[in-house]
Amino acid sequence: MVERLEPGTIVYDPQTRKVGEYRDKAGPYAMLRPIGGGREWQADPALIRAATQEERLSAGVKALNDRFREGLATSRQLDDVSRPPVPVPDCATCEELAARREEAQAAFDGSAVTDANVLLRQHQRRDHDGAPPARRRIFRYVPYSIVQDASAQPEYEARCVSGDEAECGAASGRCGDPAEVEEWQRKHTQETRHTRYRRSFADYAVLERQG
């Protein structure tokens, strides 16, 4: 168990394989609440531990997806998704998530950029009563077509996320052909018996002005 847990600490419960927010003690149990809200559950204090960065990101994205599936997202939230959230000045959590987003952008990891944006929006709605007001901008409509950049090679990659308490983390590296990634997955499964992977695809696009 994580020593001296404070309410709000994000932890991982290996018995349920879920990430939750520590609320308080209830007799011999630790009370955890799902990320994004929901019914609390009891966990063994001797087993829970601090959630890893990847586990927190995954749980945050899952919570947002669940809210959309249940029809709980408002039109304001849908509008927020259309643009990257802006960090609130002098907020350590905002700065941490913004820095994580910048690192992902530098590594051309679009999936991690999206995950960081999701968690930043959730944090701002929960702790700042919504994201900071955006500057008003006026755009002039210009018709463009978005096409794949034929001069750049698409990239494929897979990372092993098998494991009960911690992910394996082995990665294929960036490949120019999906068959190379699949071959790496087969070999890794033969060597480790791991069967769960997170796959990603990246390409380059250009906007071509119409007319």
pLDDT by 10s per residue, the chain, length 211: 445 678 888 999 999 999 999 988 888 899 998 987 778 999 998 899 988 888 888 887 777 777 666 554 444 444 445 578 888 888 888 888 888 888 888 888 888 888 888 888 888 888 876 555 555 555 565 677 788 888 888 899 999 999 888 899 999 999 988 999 999 999 999 999 999 999 998 888 888 877 6
Distance of CA 10 to the CA centre of its chain: 14
β partners of residue 157: 200
Q: Does residue 32 contact residue 26 with C-beta atoms inside 8 Å?
A: no
Nearest to 85 by CA among 64, 67, 70, 58: 64
Q: What is the pTM of this model?
A: 0.35
- Locate 66 and state its tokens: 């669940």
Cβ neighbours, 10 Å, residue 52: 15
Tell me how far apart the alpha carbons of residues 130 and 91 are, in angstroms, rounded to a whole number: 14
